[in-house]
Amino acid sequence: MVQDTLLDSFRAGRRNYTIFQVGKATLLRVSDVMKLKKTDVFNLDGTVKQTAFIHDQKTGKGNTLYLKPVQQDLMLYHAWLIQQNLNYEWLFPSTTHPDRHITEK
């Protein structure tokens, strides 16, 4: 099962699983998922927004994301970020350069 493989096989399994789930639910390109900021998906009180609005990197078009299907995954990921002391602007910060988002490579 994809969930077990992603969650259990890597130190950053929760992050990788959340990237997969957000991409699947929003139909965003991986590059757009990785560029999400915490403020794009979380309210100031840490709850998940119902929707988010971003501009697609490739086309530049606006895109409304419906986050309800991944609300639970995002809440678990938010708790994981806190546990890992990863308090940065990016939703998916790089582990080597946390001031930047992760890349596809």
pLDDT band at 12 (very low <50, low <70, confident <90, very high): confident
pLDDT mean over 9-19:
81
pLDDT in tens, 44-103: 999 999 999 999 888 889 999 999 999 999 999 999 999 988 899 999 998 788 788 877
Query: How sure is the predictor about 3, in pLDDT bands with cuts at 50, 70 and 90?
Result: low
For residue 34, tell me if it sits in a domain: yes
pLDDT of residue 91: 95
Query: What domain count does the chain have?
Result: 1
Residue 95 lies in a domain: no
Could you give the CA distance from residue 94 to residue 60 in angstroms, rounded to a whole number? 24
Is residue 69, in this structure, part of any structural domain at all? yes
Domain of residue 34, residue span? 2-83
Structural domain includes residue 91 = no
Supply the DSSP string of 11-43, one letter for each residue. TTHHHHHHHHHHHHHH---HHHHHT-BHHHHB-
